[in-house]
Amino acid sequence: MGRTRATRATLGLAAVVLLITGCGGPVASEDLEASIVQQAEGRGWTLESVDCPEDLPADVGATVVCAVQIPGEVEARPGEVGVVDRFRVVVRGVDRGTPRYSTYPLTEGMSE
């Protein structure tokens, strides 16, 4: 019986530590795609598809470029109209193992 209590106490402590420290790690490609959809919709763009080829590592400066299909030309930046075909996702900081990132639309012909 004493061993069972010790095991439960250890598991309980491990759960508390996990809650306090958070999970951290890379951002799944599916979560990146959801962020891009949200940003595109916030700008009033119709997003036909988005594909992020890999997860985003939890390292400052890490970058993933995701392909998108947005019909027609849109204003990617103030005064800059073009066909947005990709989004660059860049880690700008890491907080307790969790990456904080920004997304940037890229127009055709623009370097990554």
Q: What is the pLDDT of residues 44-91, one digit of tens each?
A: 999 999 999 999 999 999 999 999 999 999 988 888 899 999 999 999
CA-based angle 22:24:29, to the nearest 5? 135
In what helix (H) or strand (E) does residue 52 lie, and over which residues does it extend?
Answer: none
Instruction: Give the per-residue pLDDT at 52.
Output: 98
Instruction: Give the per-residue pLDDT at 9.
Output: 37
Q: Say how far apart CA 10 and CA 8 lie, in whole Å.
A: 5
Instruction: Tell me the pTM.
Output: 0.74
pLDDT of residue 22 exceeding 70: no
Span 40-47, average pLDDT: 92
The DSSP code for 71 is -
- Beta-carbon contacts of 46 under 8 Å, excluding residues fewer than 6 positions away, are 40, 70, 71
10 Å CB burial of residue 7 (0-12, 13-18, 19+) is exposed
Q: Which residue has the higher pLDDT, 109 or 74?
A: 74
